[in-house]
Amino acid sequence: MPLGTDYARQDCSLARSLEVVGERWTLLILRDCFWGVRRFSDLQAHLDISRAVLSTRLDALVADGLLTRSGDGHPEYHLTDDGLALWPALYALTQWGEQRTTPGAPRRVFVHVGCGRLGRDGRCTGCGESPSPGDLEIHPGPGADFTVRDDPVSVGLRTPHRLLTPLPAR
């Protein structure tokens, strides 16, 4: 928990959110899940995160109902509806970072499949709606840098990829 336990006495929904997704690494793990990453080792390799912390975070996300752990052998992690509902917040935070650091050259571009591009406000430039993540493709943008990482997830993102479908492709 990112907040002291006595923070339960704060009457604010943002604090409630941060108790679940405010810890170090948690939002980056969920971002990878939206992109389709499902395996422990892929998350670990892509995030350069300590295995101990990744294990703790995944346990917490499953306990909080944002992820499910499935499979009898090596588990796969999938977003629940509660997890999927986080997409607008995640996208808004990403856009804020993009606008601050590389305003003219986005690292990633999201495409509403068969329709238009996703604008900064999360609306499709084609239909004007806010597509659900499953209807989106992530494309490398002009600000992307392919030289920094060689893990399977980073490699898989060098070409367009439908969100929520397995990454790396198997």
Site residues (vs DNA, CB under 7 A): 3-4, 6, 23-25, 39-42, 48-53, 55-56, 58-59, 69, 72-75
Give the β-pairing of 108-112 and 116-117: antiparallel
27 interacts with, out of a second copy, DNA, none, CB within 5 to 8 A per kind: a second copy
Q: How many residues does the chain have?
A: 170
Round to whole Å and give the CA distance between 145 and 149. Answer: 9
Give the β-pairing of 67-70 and 136-140: unpaired
Interface characters, 42-81, with a second copy (x: CB under 8 A): ------x---------------------------------
Count of residues binding a second copy (CB under 8 A)? 52
Find the shortest distance in angstroms from Cβ 149 to a second copy: 7
φ and ψ at residue 67, rounded to 5 degrees: -130, 155
